[in-house]
Structure 1
Amino acid sequence: MNPDWLKDPRSLFDIRDKVAVVTGASGAFGSLAAKVLAGAGARLVLAAGNESTVAQTASECRALGAEVHIVARRPNTEADCEAVMDAALTAYGALDILVVASGMNDPCPITDMSPERFDAVMDGNVTGAWLLCRAFGRRAILRGTKAKVVLVSSARGKLGHPAGYSAYCASKAATDGLTRALGCEWGKHGITVNAIAPTVFRSPLTAWMFEDNEKANKVRADFLARVPLGRLGEPEDLAGPLLFLCSRASDFHTGHTVYADGGYTAG
């Protein structure tokens, strides 16, 4: 064992100057991930379809001292995913970290849901992630990079939901399966693949659940009755697991789904 890290165990989490690609960087988790990695010293490639929104995220990351390159593309096609990775190599000449935060939900009872709507959720959450991983993996393996891949799953990959989540739950279960498969497939290349699975955390989409009014108080109380830690998630609850999975602190962890959910899926 090389004891050098014992002089500063925090060095295990050091990602300074690593090149990180974050997709879905205009969304709640993607923008958070971008800012966490920026604050930790990574060089960023931020990809999203909404150029103005991702530009705002980029500005916030630059304010944290990060170098940032923007790619205004969603991972809708093979060409999109290849272009994102090529942009990273052109900008920085390296690929070290991939965070796939792009995705979608479209709640609908299965009896009313069209195959086209189901396919859109699966494409957004599974096919896009698969294409991004393929494009990233091809380049990382060719270059011999000991890389890190982090997918975004959900507590709904393990648990069902009564509010028309048949497509979303299926897609996040598939994300967990992709995580395990690639963890096994890429282990020999020194590439780790893991997923973060949050439950409700504070974001623009969920801000109403944190408010003090009759509707929010009831919904929150019903939900928290099933959360052992008794509160909703905050952004910093996701920041720690993300930094762990993107750094050499997680070099012996792969194929895992890390539930950042206050114990919600434990019961």
Structure 2
Amino acid sequence: MSALANPLSLFDIGGKVAIVTGASGAFGAVAAQVLAGAGAKLALVAGNAKALAETAEACGEAEVLTINARPADETACDKIVADTVARFGRVDILVVASGKNDVAKITEMAPARFLDVMDANVTQSWLMARAASKQMLAQGEGGKVVLMSSARGLLGHPAGYTAYCASKSAVDGITKALGCELGPTGITVNAIAPTVFRSPLTAWMFEDTENAQTVRKGFLARVPKGRLGEPEDLAGPLLFLASRASDFYTGHILYADGGYTAG
């Protein structure tokens, strides 16, 4: 049956093997549950063992391998892929959800802090994409790489975001360059770029305090949808980019932002 007659088959990732780094974080936990719910086998990677175990438990009956590690260098990234292959035999999907932010005005930020953000968000994304794509190329059947960007990769921010904005702009560059480089092989490379969505770090913005309401009002004036993001708003884009539905999309930055970057 053709995809036009059975369009939902385009989103079928049942039995696919996915690596999710940063699986204990806000987006990583969402990614893990979405991919698990869609029938994928998961290698969940995070440095926080307790939170990693909680994410694995939230994946229900899915087949899960937990890897208590960080994609800190070439050796670590290659081992993450090797451990996944040892358990599941292959890698079909990579979701890089690991990363960090460090907010400070440029005159108050030591160079080491700037470089730390760049390493976590840029270098580690590149290293994981490198390790996973080598395996995907060896398999010869294509694959899906999904990186984590941000609306701040496109837009600046006045409150000490030089490191974060620069790092996410670089992730966008990696996405576009790898999309071009790997496109002919059947491996697609795309990124999801959200604006503010509900997570432990942003929970205060959803509260009814006077400060939260003031900040939220100013922010929402730029959001056509008129609300902040919810975890479910990341589920659809992720499943699309991880599945056959996005086979003709590569080097693309998908803004999950309620229209924030459009205006």
TM-score (ref. length: structure 1): 0.97
Asked whether the equivalents of residues 90 and 135 of structure 2 are also in contact (C-alpha less than 8 Å), the reply is: no
Q: 2:200 aligns with which of 183, 191, 204?
A: 204
Where in structure 2 are the equivalents of 1:57-206 lying within 5 Å?
57-61=55-59, 63=60, 65-206=61-202
CA apart distance, 1:204:
1.3
CA apart distance, 1:21:
0.1
CA apart distance, 1:213:
1.6
- Percent of aligned pairs sharing the same letter: 65
What is the root-mean-square deviation in Å for CA atoms of aligned residues?
0.8
User: What letter corresponds to residue 72 of structure 1 in structure 2?
Assistant: N
Structure 1 CA distance for aligned equivalents of residues 231 and 4 of structure 2:
29
Structure 1 CA distance for aligned equivalents of residues 7 and 141 of structure 2:
23
For structure 1, which segment, 84-93 or 3-12, has the greater mean C-alpha deviation from structure 2 after superposition?
A: 3-12
CA apart distance, 1:188:
1.3
Where in structure 2 are the equivalents of 1:46-57 lying within 5 Å?
46-57=44-55
Tell me what 2:31 maps to: 33
Structure 2 CA distance for aligned equivalents of residues 46 and 208 of structure 1:
28
Asked whether the equivalents of residues 21 and 96 of structure 2 are also in contact (C-alpha less than 8 Å), the reply is: yes
Q: How many residue pairs align between the two structures?
A: 263
Cα deviations across residues 91-133 of structure 1 (Å, max 9, x unaligned)?
1001000000000000010111111001100000000001101
Asked whether the equivalents of residues 96 and 146 of structure 2 are also in contact (C-alpha less than 8 Å), the reply is: yes
Cα deviations across residues 123-181 of structure 1 (Å, max 9, x unaligned)?
00000001101111111111103100000000000000011000100000000000000
Secondary structure class of the residue paired with 1:6: coil
Secondary structure class of the residue paired with 2:108: coil
Secondary structure class of the residue paired with 1:7: coil
Structure 1 CA distance for aligned equivalents of residues 10 and 70 of structure 2:
32
User: What letter corresponds to residue 218 of structure 1 in structure 2?
Assistant: T
User: What letter corresponds to residue 58 of structure 1 in structure 2?
Assistant: A
Structure 2 CA distance for aligned equivalents of residues 204 and 145 of structure 1:
38
Secondary structure class of the residue paired with 1:106: coil
Asked whether the equivalents of residues 95 and 145 of structure 1 are also in contact (C-alpha less than 8 Å), the reply is: no
Tell me what 1:222 maps to: 218
5+ residue gaps in structure 2?
none
Secondary structure class of the residue paired with 1:105: coil
Asked whether the equivalents of residues 25 and 47 of structure 1 are also in contact (C-alpha less than 8 Å), the reply is: yes
Tell me what 1:8 maps to: 6
Cα deviations across residues 203-232 of structure 1 (Å, max 9, x unaligned)?
111111111121111111010001111100
Secondary structure class of the residue paired with 2:107: coil
Asked whether the equivalents of residues 23 and 29 of structure 2 are also in contact (C-alpha less than 8 Å), the reply is: yes
Tell me what 1:18 maps to: 16
Cα deviations across residues 64-113 of structure 1 (Å, max 9, x unaligned)?
x2100011110111111011000110010010000000000000101111
Asked whether the equivalents of residues 26 and 57 of structure 1 are also in contact (C-alpha less than 8 Å), the reply is: yes
Structure 2 CA distance for aligned equivalents of residues 77 and 230 of structure 1:
40
Asked whether the equivalents of residues 146 and 191 of structure 1 are also in contact (C-alpha less than 8 Å), the reply is: yes
Q: Which runs of 4+ in 1 moved over 4 A?
A: none
User: What letter corresponds to residue 84 of structure 1 in structure 2?
Assistant: I
Structure 2 CA distance for aligned equivalents of residues 172 and 218 of structure 1:
27
User: What letter corresponds to residue 55 of structure 1 in structure 2?
Assistant: A
User: What letter corresponds to residue 230 of structure 2 in structure 1?
Assistant: E
TM-score (ref. length: structure 2): 0.99
5+ residue gaps in structure 1?
none
